[in-house]
A and B are shown apart, each in its own frame.
Chain A
């Protein structure tokens, strides 16, 4: 990834700086098929100015925390009618829910519930608590499948959820992220139910490929438990990327790979120890010990309010390879390394620019 692209825009950390960034990339991602390469030297065009400020323009209008900004953007009614319409909308929603009159897809993804309830619950956490700054959202194509590959950290998979909110709230084409989750998620009661409804599915090649072929945006964190359960001392050091299965899945589906670096999640639960025996007893991959966690009881489960940055990198196209490429282990390793390096590189760059963990 070219250094010159990232550094200038992160010098000014304001929203407007983030908004002007897309201007450069927009043209590159303009051909959504993934055919970049012509966009690297593209000039700033007038087009992105119109669409990029949208997410930031909504929140001041919506006032209190910007709940359901998308609905506001849609009906955009006057101030007096807005409330009534909201109530009517809420009751219609309630009616559909209690009578079971809604649709889920074959993965159990309940789009309506996700948009209206789950995202509204997570949004304050993303916007107010972690103050997630999203960069490079235009690197996610507006249509067709794409595989977002991100680093994983933070003891609890809050980074995945924040990534989902980031894509949901910031992408101009209203795209939804479908996360691939560990099998532990689907063994736990309640968690599995909510995960399925939020559009997550089991991290396996079949599901990933099916989603990509449906043209969905799939999010994967190939480090898995190695990444999320690593000790605090190893923060921001990427672990091994599984067996690189995500690359062959992306190749089979011809979907571009979007590397994604998340900064800030490492420090929410600084894991200073791991009670291995207890973990084995409970059947968990690790049992974290943080400065607060078992000692303060439930209060210790409160994450530290760190400042987050989620940076989407330039997509790596995969449609140029012959069909048998998905079986080529050498190519797999090379592409896996390329993705990994790009994420690691961006992580370091973002860390250098970060003023403090909390601001």
Chain B
């Protein structure tokens, strides 16, 4: 509703129909077809979305764009190798008469080799180039941008639950979170300049899928989890299947009674604490004092295990929970996986850790099977054990 009215979409679509007669004739009798351009198609998520969106009714063609050849199958989509940091995009948009742009090339982790600078360039400069190209192209009617809940930052003075309108108490100072903030800023500017384009910004919580594609997934794949001593962050996850589904909803026409333009938090229901995550994964934790965490982080980064950026450390200190009321009520999307289910899927794909929960559970059961003389003795032991777990957390 903030990003342009529906009447204007119709006007744009008329224009689109007029200009592309030749293309229509070649394609067939369908009058109202869609041409979807997906950036970041070489990533796991991009590839899945490209394959998925082809099956949507009303989608004629899918143009997949990325700077590198994807390792996975893209189905019937047309792959165009282009670096979105260059201005080749305007030509691609015009050539294929793209009307829906799904911008997924906003990511916290490089694909293959490439440092932080390259990611930042792709995220920020790439978005600027893409938006510039979209602004020039009259055919574009819909823009979907993948963002992240990290735009809210993570601080001790933040409210427990972020809504889409919560202003961040402390803006992310660097890293992917800052990229996401800047990308959203440019997208807002674009929405102002092109009110006829329906713009949807999806702020995803931590995405977990079968293949780790985010710094947090990398972190959770470590054999032993370094944690910040004295903090137990609340985390939310969203399953990759749900991400693909909600991108489909955002890229299509809004269903009756829903609205798919605007900004939405996307997360699975419920919350997991990091301590719960580690126990469910069966991985021991090593609490590290907050000042020393940065050293551990840079040490881990040096040996290339994970990107332990300051922003990541803040997430692991204070945690972050977002409200998904808008997602449910305005966007009309219900995730299939809750946070806990997403995590269970992830844990299953990872394989057991050093202390699998089943083994630990069996150990407790053995404790239960010990001959109990009754009376106060075992009771004390039980109570003591409870206290210990509590103390050890």
Contacts and interface: CB of A to CB of B under 8 A. Distances in A.
15 contacts: A86-B382, A87-B372, A94-B382, A94-B386, A95-B361, A97-B389, A98-B360, A99-B360, A100-B276, A104-B273, A110-B273, A117-B390, A189-B228, A189-B290, A192-B156
Contacts of A103: 270
Nearest to B272: A104
B270 A108 contact: no
B361 A99 contact: yes
B385 interface: yes
B79 interface: no
Contacts of A107: 160-161, 234, 321
Interface string B322-364: 0000000000000000000000000000000000011011001
B279 A99 contact: yes
Interface stretch (B5-13, B56-64, B215-223, B373-381): B373-381
A100 B157 contact: no
Contacts of B275: 100
Contacts of B271: 104-106, 108
A106 B365 contact: no
Contacts of B206: none
A84 B373 CA distance: 10
Nearest to A105: B271
A136 B75 CA distance: 69
A88 interface: yes
Q: Please list the 5 inter-chain residue pairs (A to B) with the smallest Cβ-Cβ separation, ordered nearest first.
A: A189-B230, A100-B279, A90-B382, A99-B357, A190-B230
- Candidate in A84, A91, A191 with the most chain B CB atoms within 10 angstroms: A91
A202 B157 CA distance: 7
Interface in A63-114: 80, 83-84, 86-88, 90-91, 93-95, 97-108, 110, 113
A4 B385 CA distance: 51
Given A104-B273, A108-B273, A83 B375 contact: yes
Interface string B271-311: 11101111110000000001000000000000000000000
Given A187-B156, A189-B231, 14 more contacts: A91-B382, A93-B386, A94-B382, A97-B279, A97-B390, A100-B275, A104-B272, A104-B273, A106-B234, A108-B160, A108-B273, A116-B386, A183-B156, A202-B156
Contacts of A110: 273
B383 interface: yes
Contacts of A87: 368, 372, 378-379, 382
A91 B370 CA distance: 12
A175 B391 CA distance: 26
Contacts of B276: 100, 102, 104
Interface of A: 80, 83-84, 86-88, 90-91, 93-95, 97-108, 110, 113, 116-117, 183, 186-193, 196-197, 201-202, 204, 206-207, 210
Contacts of A193: 230-232, 393
B158 interface: yes
Contacts of B367: 91, 94
B166 interface: yes
B346 to A, nearest CB: 13
Contact of B278 (A80, A100, A187, A202): A100
A103 B340 CA distance: 9
Given A116-B386, A192-B156, A108 B234 contact: yes
B273 A186 contact: no
A94 B389 contact: yes
B254 interface: no
B159 interface: yes
Nearest to A91: B368
B337 to A, nearest CB: 16
Interface residues of B, number: 50
B145 to A, nearest CB: 26
Contacts of A102: 276
A189 B229 contact: yes
A83 B358 CA distance: 27
Contacts of B228: 189
A215 to B, nearest CB: 16
Nearest to B357: A99
Contact of B160 (A91, A113, A117, A202): A202
Given A83-B375, A98-B389, A197 B383 contact: no
A90 B321 CA distance: 31
Nearest to B383: A90
Interface string B84-127: 00000000000000000000000000000000000000000000
Contacts of B29: none
B387 interface: yes
B381 to A, nearest CB: 9
B364 A98 contact: yes
B154 to A, nearest CB: 12
Interface in B135-161: 156-161
A73 to B, nearest CB: 18
B231 A117 contact: no
Contacts of A84: 372, 374
A72 to B, nearest CB: 13
A57 B156 CA distance: 42
Contacts of B365: 91, 95
Contacts of B278: 100
Nearest to A206: B159
A209 to B, nearest CB: 10
A30 B364 CA distance: 46
Contact of A94 (B232, B290, B364): B364
Contacts of A95: 361, 364-365
B363 to A, nearest CB: 8
Given A183-B157, A210-B160, A99 B280 contact: yes
B233 to A, nearest CB: 9
Interface in B9-44: none
Contacts of A88: 368
A193 B360 CA distance: 24
Nearest to B358: A99
A207 B157 CA distance: 11
Nearest to B166: A206
